[in-house]
Amino acid sequence: MPEDASQHDSSTGSADHLLTHSKMYEIAEKYDIQDLKKLAKEKFDFLCDSYWDDPLFHEVAKHVFTATVDTDMGLRDAIINTISIRPQLVKEAGIKEFLADNPTVAVSVLERRVDAGLV
């Protein structure tokens, strides 16, 4: 097994699995498969903690906020929470662009930080 492949076992996945789970969540919503939606969210939440610093993260954030309706906060909350507890992300070009294009997300991130007493 290549050295880098052994760093993460198949149960944790990799950063590209964030996008896969967000797409599974989208499909589960479309076809009203609640168990699949719940599972995709659980896996997505777990992977956000592991791969928040991956260059793909901002692409995943963009996908989540374009593929889900405004009222479905399942994956959206995971993105907002991930950014709010890791403020260094806002210095990343992709996240900076994402927040500029989605000012309501930027406000939500700031509100979470205030609520947590971090600002």
Residue 14: what pLDDT?
76
Segment holding 40, helix H or strand E = helix 34-51
| Whether 60 contacts 25, CB under 8 Å | no
Report the percentage of the chain scoring pLDDT > 90. 86
- Residues 109, 73: Cα–Cα separation, whole Å: 13
**Which residues, in sequence order, are CB contacts of 99 under 8 Å at separation 6+?**
83, 90, 105, 106, 109
Sign of CA dihedral 86, 102, 39, 13: negative
- Written as one string, the DSSP assignment of 7-20 is GS-TTT--HHHHHH
Chain segment 38-47, per-residue pLDDT in tens = 999 999 999 9
Mean pLDDT for the stretch of residues 85-103: 97
Chain segment 69-88, per-residue pLDDT in tens = 999 999 999 999 999 999 99
Residue 15: what pLDDT?
84
> Is residue 119 exposed (0-12), middle (13-18) or buried (19+ Cβ within 10 Å)?
exposed
Residue 119: what pLDDT?
82
Residue 8 has pLDDT above 60, yes or no: no
Residue 1 has pLDDT above 60, yes or no: no
Chain segment 19-39, per-residue pLDDT in tens = 999 999 999 999 999 999 999
Q: Quote the DSSP letter at residue 68.
A: S
